[in-house]
Amino acid sequence: MYNLINAVNNFTSYGNSSELNKFFNGSKNESIKKVISAMKDLSEDVMLCRTDLKKHLKTLNKSLKELESGSTNINEKDTALFISLVDIIRKKFYLTSGNNKIEEPNVIKWCLDNNFIQQAVTIYAERIPEYLYKMKFVVPSEDEEKRIESKKHQNKYYNDFFESFMRCFDRKAVNGNKITYKNEYLNTIEFLGETLDSTDRYDVKNCTIAEMQSIMRDYLYIKQYIRNKLNHANNEGEKRI
């Protein structure tokens, strides 16, 4: 059992699923194999800063659910032990009893816990916009949604959030308030309430205007400053090699 606990810890703490793979190498349980394969694929995506995690997160969530639902054969002792340790995996990804689905924000928190800073920043910058749209924090109008869906590039919500929603400031909507910024992003954040009142392109739901302003400030800082700093540090390191 110690070896299995150690193998689970290697994944939850370091993103390394190789020990789990070795431990269950001879297992005949297909559900266990699916879980470990999904864990391996997800950890590889994260370590290599590949941010399109949807496919492997979906597979991992589905296979974990199958294990916990009892729809898999648990005759093997080690399989039963692994199922008992699934809760540890969920806790490491900040899942609660009311939420048992691993999503991008959970992966970001997990990355930060394990000091995978660049991976956390990259996933945050590229995938949080789509999460905000999916969870209806940012709600585009029907026409805007059609425009977004017509885009053929993979990261269309990232582009729309940063290039359209965060720059939708309308000077006419300020109604005489003093405009303190020359930057479109900062003006949109500062006058978000007035801007949304004057346009039917976007709405904010499931959070307050103040909460969305905080999200936008954090996003701008992390994307434009922290990520650029990390990229610059990496480039400097490559020059020294």
Sorting pLDDT into bands at 50, 70 and 90, what band is 23?
Answer: confident
Which one has a higher pLDDT value, 50 or 154?
50
pTM of the model: 0.82
pLDDT (mean) for 25-47 = 83
Sorting pLDDT into bands at 50, 70 and 90, what band is 162?
Answer: very high
pLDDT at 236 over 70: no
C-alpha 123, offset from chain centre: 6
C-beta separation of 207 from 148 below 8 A = no
pLDDT at 204 over 90: yes
pLDDT at 49 over 80: yes
pLDDT (mean) for 123-148 = 94
pLDDT (mean) for 223-236 = 78
Residue 70, phi-psi category: left (phi > 0), alpha (psi -120 to 50), beta (remainder):
left
pLDDT at 237 over 60: no
Question: What local confidence, expressed as pLDDT, does residue 99 receive?
Answer: 72
Structure tokens that stand for 101 in this block:
């689905």
Question: What local confidence, expressed as pLDDT, does residue 158 receive?
Answer: 92
Of these ranges, 23-37, 63-77, 206-220, the one predicted with the greatest mean pLDDT is 206-220
CA–CA distance, 35 with 52 (Å, rounded to integer):
19
Q: How high is the mean pLDDT of the chain?
A: 84
CA–CA distance, 217 with 214 (Å, rounded to integer):
5
The answer to whether the Cα torsion of 8, 11, 12, 13 is positive or negative is positive
C-beta separation of 34 from 63 below 8 A = yes
pLDDT at 38 over 80: yes
Q: DSSP alpha helices (H): ranges in the chain?
A: 2-14, 18-23, 30-47, 54-69, 77-92, 104-113, 117-134, 142-150, 156-163, 184-190, 192-198, 209-221, 227-240
